[in-house]
């Protein structure tokens, strides 16, 4: 077999590719084969600070460009995303491991965020009130923050950076993207497309790096806002450090997402929905369904029997295998961690309904795990408490809908949840009482479309602001309110000074 050429990647700074200067590099692997395919530079603090300086210069120009002209660039960027979908999907598959069809779906979701940001001229309109008192008019305007940064995860190399950054650019900010060092190539392609679309130098930059680069972004005084997606532990650390350094921070963490199956639900529909929502992308989604909660023993027995049969039919394979349902996990370390979680669950008393720890695959050097299903899991087990970022899913049995709601509400995560039922009453009770940020009814993965807000509750999110929808405008702008009165040229007020607090 021909050995893969190991590329040396770059940063993208001020409109051009820039070689790393730190002398430090990270290794990038193809999870489907285990091969090293690239070296990515890891930026030093000094390099990050220089990028921030150049981005600040880019912001000075870009913030003065009319919103209509900025949107023209977004239209061109959108067209280029569509034109380069196959290229981007291959880059995602090669570095992340997800199938080409799944990667294509990710890109389509990212384009939704561009579509919404194209509406920036309307979304930036402020409020206006005439004669609030004393012939004074009041109005507000949304002003860009300056230099902002997005710190993106490995599991969505295109969708998350696009969703996090497009509105920020549309409203006049300069962006610095720090992608996951595991999947840097997609970010560099995005930077190329932004440049081709006509975005001025310095407005959209890519800095590759590890913790040193993140810390530099979190402490640089000229970075005004930080948007982060990753594990809960790191999200909390980013939030604490960012806010300590007086930054606006939204940090999206992990989830333990549940699917509740009522006795009146169509079991075949629920099973098929669970399969895709639970095991798609090798379960490496913060919105993946990790837990099935069938209500009643009869429901549980029927659901697990049909689900087990279907799980054993799923195929794991290389990212460009058109017959594969999902690909490998991101790394050898990730694979070992998932197996460790499965082993511990069995030790704690979970029943192994399907075992995916040793799959038969064409390339044994890849980081493959077949789907695992664990039944009779209880809330005191580690596999229930913690997020498992890989294809090991669990079944927790309950007797009533109320028990399911209480169980979900007591968990520290509150990202996503869904209910399968034919009862409008059950759905109303569920959507009203559940303490989770994104809720579905007969929907496999309750991810909102690009023009609705995305964000979890509890320890699934730190800070305020959403990744999609109207909140992106509010997060990436600051509001200025003006109270204005104009006197007639013949105005001559000889009244005494008024020391009372002004009112209408």
Helices (DSSP H) in 10-147: which residue ranges? 45-62, 67-83, 85-96, 100-117, 120-123
- Selection from 494, 436, 278, 296 nearest residue 371 by Cα: 278
- Given 286, 295, 324, 342, the catalytic residue: 286
Q: Is 150 designated active site?
A: no
304: helix, strand or coil: helix
Give the strand pairing for 11-13 and 16-18. Answer: antiparallel
Give the number of other CB atoms < 10 A from CB of residue 490: 5
Paired residues of 486 in beta bridges: none
Residue 319 · residue 354 · CB < 8 Å:
no
* 432-455 per-residue burial string, b: 16 or more CB within 10 A, e: under 16: eebebbbbbbebbbbbbebeeebb
Distance CA 262, CA 490 (A): 76
- Selection from 84, 102, 10, 5 nearest residue 47 by Cα: 10
**Tokens 């970010």 -> residue:** 187
Residues 6+ apart with CB under 8 A from 154: 96, 180, 182, 183, 284, 330
- Selection from 285, 160, 147, 152 nearest residue 209 by Cα: 152
Exposed/middle/buried for 322, CB within 10 Å: 0-12, 13-18, 19+? exposed
H or E segment and range at residue 502: none
492: helix, strand or coil: coil
Residue 384 · residue 291 · CB < 8 Å:
yes
- Selection from 42, 51, 22, 318 nearest residue 184 by Cα: 42
- Selection from 133, 124, 238, 103 nearest residue 173 by Cα: 124
Tokens linked to 448 = 């909102």
Give the number of other CB atoms < 10 A from CB of residue 191: 25
Catalytic residue set: 286
């Amino acid at each position: 077999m021909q050995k893969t050429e190991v590329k040396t990647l770059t940063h993208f700074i001020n409109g051009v590719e820039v070689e790393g200067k730190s002398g430090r590099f990270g290794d990038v692997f193809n999870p489907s084969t285990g091969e090293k395919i690239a070296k990515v530079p890891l930026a030093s603090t000094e390099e990050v600070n220089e990028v921030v300086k150049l981005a600040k210069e880019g912001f000075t120009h870009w913030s003065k460009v009319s919103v209509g002209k900025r949107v023209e660039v977004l239209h061109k960027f959108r067209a280029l995303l569509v034109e380069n979908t196959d290229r981007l999907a291959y880059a995602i598959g090669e570095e992340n491991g997800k199938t080409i069809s799944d990667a294509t779906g990710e890109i389509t979701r990212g384009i939704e965020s561009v579509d919404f940001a194209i509406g920036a001229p309307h979304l930036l309109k402020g409020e206006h009130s005439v004669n609030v008192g004393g012939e004074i008019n009041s109005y507000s305007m949304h002003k860009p923050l300056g230099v902002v940064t997005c710190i993106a995860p490995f599991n969505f190399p295109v969708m998350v950076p696009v969703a996090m950054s497009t509105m920020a650019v549309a409203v006049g900010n300069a962006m610095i993207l720090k992608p996951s060092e595991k999947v840097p190539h997609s970010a560099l392609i995005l930077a190329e497309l932004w440049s081709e679309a006509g975005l001025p130098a310095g407005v959209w930059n890519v800095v590759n790096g590890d913790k040193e680069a993140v810390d530099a972004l979190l402490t640089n005084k000229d970075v005004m806002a930080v948007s982060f997606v990753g594990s809960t532990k790191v999200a909390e650390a980013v939030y604490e450090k960012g806010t300590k350094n007086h930054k606006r921070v939204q940090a999206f963490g992990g989830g333990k997402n549940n699917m509740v199956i009522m006795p009146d639900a169509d079991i075949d529909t629920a099973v098929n929905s669970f399969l895709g929502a639970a095991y798609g992308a090798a379960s490496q989604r913060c919105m993946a369904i990790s837990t099935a909660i069938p209500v009643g023993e009869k429901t549980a027995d029927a659901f697990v029997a049909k689900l087990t049969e279907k799980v054993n039919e799923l195929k794991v394979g290389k990212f460009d295998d058109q017959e594969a349902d999902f690909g490998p996990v991101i790394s050898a370390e990730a694979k070992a961690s998932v197996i460790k979680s499965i082993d511990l669950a069995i030790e704690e008393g979970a029943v192994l309904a399907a075992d995916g720890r040793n799959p038969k695959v064409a390339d044994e050097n890849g980081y493959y795990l077949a789907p695992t299903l664990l039944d009779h899991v209880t809330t005191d087990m580690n596999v229930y408490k913690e997020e498992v970022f890989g294809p090991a899913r669990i079944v927790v049995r309950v007797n009533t809908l109320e028990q399911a709601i209480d169980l979900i509400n007591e968990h520290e995560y509150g990202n996503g949840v869904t209910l399968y039922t034919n009862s409008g009453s059950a759905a109303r009770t569920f959507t009203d009482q559940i303490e989770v940020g994104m809720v579905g009814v007969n929907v496999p993965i309750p991810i909102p479309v690009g023009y609705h807000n995305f964000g979890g509750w509890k320890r699934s999110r730190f800070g305020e602001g959403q990744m999609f929808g109207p909140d992106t405008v509010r997060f990436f702008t600051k509001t200025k309110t003006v109270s204005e009165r104009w006197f007639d040229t013949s105005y001559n007020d000889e009244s005494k000074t008024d020391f009372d607090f002004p009112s209408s």
